[in-house]
Amino acid sequence: MEYVTLSFSSEFFNIKDTLECGQIFRFLYYKKGYLVFTEDKCAYVYTENRFTYLTCFSEHKEYFLNFFDTERDYSLIVKRGLTLDNGDILKKACEFGKGIRILNQSSAEALISFVISQNNNIPRIKGIIEKICKELGESKRFLDFDYHTFPALKKIKEQPLEFFIKAGLGYRAEYVKNVAELLDSDLNLKNASSLSTERLKEVLLGIKGVGPKVCDCVLLFGFHKTDVFPVDTWMEKVYRQDFNGKLKNRKRISDWFVSLFLNDAGYFQQYMFYYKRYLNTVDNNDKRL
């Protein structure tokens, strides 16, 4: 198979920002940048000297052009964030995270990944997903690297509950098994992207293990619905500390942000989530000095 390498301006496509902002769990450092895994595919991406370079199998070129949302003009989104008058944090977050692109991930993979993410931390989420891929996925080679694909839904759903427990899923084990069963039967999400945000919400919230936050993440990362605003513990901090908010209920906090940012809500949420966590790691490093 042949490889192709594409290049983009890195101003609004920085691979570190795009991968480490929390929207995807399957990637690792490799040489000058990262290997990115999605479904059964892989790409090598690095950012250097104002450009981002993307290498993939030539037959996957269109797939990754869409995956990295390359056709969208992110300068307009960032500009809107910079001109909105909502205090400091949004502007700083836009400036800090303007290299982020919201990926067009597989909705099934996003759903399973974010069910795993609930009440969990990112390094552990990555570890669990990696383990599931290693044990159930197909072994493939990309450049000089051997990796495992995201498993077929059929393969996931036929595992006994014990498998998911051993993977470290704890009480989420039955949720994941149930979701795989749903996805591989009546609930076909592949033809669901045409549905409205509202309609998709009803479908997703009907699944056991999917609440408002997981639902919003799947809508944003798996369906590119941007009129949503996932609120987790970090965004709750942003709401209280940076917007001086008084609401307690996360669903209402989310609604409040959506009514404020409308169709940019999803993008701005990612910018602020990434920025807030960055500030936190800086603080923790200071404490250790």
Candidate residues 135, 277, 278, 279; the one interacting with DNA per rule CB under 7 A:
277
Q: Which is nearer to DNA, 47 or 254 (CB)?
A: 254
Least distance in angstroms from the C-beta of 196 to DNA: 19
Helices 212-223 and 107-117 meet at what angle, rounded to 10?
A: 150
256 binds DNA (CB under 7 A): no
Q: Which is nearer to DNA, 14 or 55 (CB)?
A: 14
Closest separation in Å from C-beta 42 to DNA = 21
Q: Which of 255, 269, 261, 267 is nearest to 212 (CA)?
A: 255
Kindly state whether residue 248 participates in binding DNA, applying the rule CB under 7 A.
yes
- CA distances, 145 to each of 36, 109, 142 (Å): 12, 22, 5
The C-alpha atoms of residue 71 and residue 65 are separated, in whole angstroms, by 8
Decide: is 285 part of the binding site for DNA (CB under 7 A): no
| Choices 16-24, 55-63, 136-144, 256-264 (CB under 7 A): range interacting with DNA | 16-24
List Cα–Cα distances, 153 to 33, 38, 158, in angstroms.
Answer: 30, 14, 9
Dump strand ranges (E) for 39-149.
41-48, 51-57, 139-142, 145-148
> What's the CA gap between 41 and 138, in Å, rounded?
11
Interface map 191-230 toward DNA (x if CB under 7 A): ----------------xxxxxxxxx-x------------x
Q: Is 78 helix (H, G, I), strand (E, B) or coil?
A: helix
In the region spanning residues 82 to 141, those forming contacts with DNA, defined by CB under 7 A, are: 117-125
Which pairs count as long-range contacts for 241-249, CB under 8 Å and 24+ apart, including other chains? 242/87, 242/88, 242/89, 242/272, 243/86, 243/87, 243/89
Element containing residue 278 per DSSP (H, E): helix 265-287
Encoded one letter per residue, x for contact with DNA by CB under 7 A and - for no contact, window 19-48 reads --xxx-------------------------
Percentages helix, strand, coil for the chain, rounded to the nearest 5? 55, 15, 30
Name the one range near DNA by CB under 7 A: 42-50, 59-67, 186-194, 266-274.
266-274
Per CB under 7 A, 254 contacts DNA: no
Q: Is 78 in the site for DNA (CB under 7 A)?
A: no
What does the chain come to in residues? 289
159 binds DNA (CB under 7 A): no
Nearer to DNA, 56 or 216 (CB): 216
143 sits near DNA (criterion: CB under 7 A): no
> What is the size of the binding site for DNA (CB under 7 A)?
42
**Two structure tokens written together for 99:** 């290299």
83, 139, 194, 233: which one binds DNA (CB under 7 A)? 233
Binding-site ranges for DNA (CB under 7 A): 21-23, 117-125, 165, 168-171, 207-215, 217, 230-235, 248-252, 269-270, 273, 277
